[in-house]
């Protein structure tokens, strides 16, 4: 499938972004903790690559347990 002619509006793109934020907020706290640790790791990687100081991500067991 080609997406070379997939049209949308800026309003639609921002609506989708807002929907995604609300969906993210509605997740369980355990899922959000997993996301938080990923964000902390990403922030560390970016800071380290740029030669800036950084904080260590939380060193915890996975929040979502099976």
Binding mask 1-40 for other proteins (x = CB under 8 A): -----------------x--xx-xx---xx-xx-xx--xx
- Output the six-digit token pair for 22: 């609300």
Distance CA(21)–CA(15), nearest Å, equals 10
Q: Which residues contact 43 (CB under 8 A, 6 or more apart)?
A: 54, 55
Nearer to other proteins, 12 or 58 (CB): 58
Task: Examine residue 65 and tell whether it contacts other proteins (CB under 8 A).
Answer: yes
Distance CA(5)–CA(45), nearest Å, equals 35
Give the binding site for other proteins (CB under 8 A). 18, 21-22, 24-25, 29-30, 32-33, 35-36, 39-40, 43, 55, 58-61, 63, 65
């Amino acid at each position: 499938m080609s997406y070379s002619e997939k049209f949308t509006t800026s309003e639609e793109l921002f609506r989708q972004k807002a929907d995604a934020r609300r969906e993210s907020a509605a997740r369980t706290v355990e899922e959000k903790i997993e996301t938080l640790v990923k964000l902390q790791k990403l922030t560390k990687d970016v800071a380290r690559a740029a030669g800036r100081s950084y904080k260590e991500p939380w060193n915890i067991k996975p929040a979502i347990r099976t």
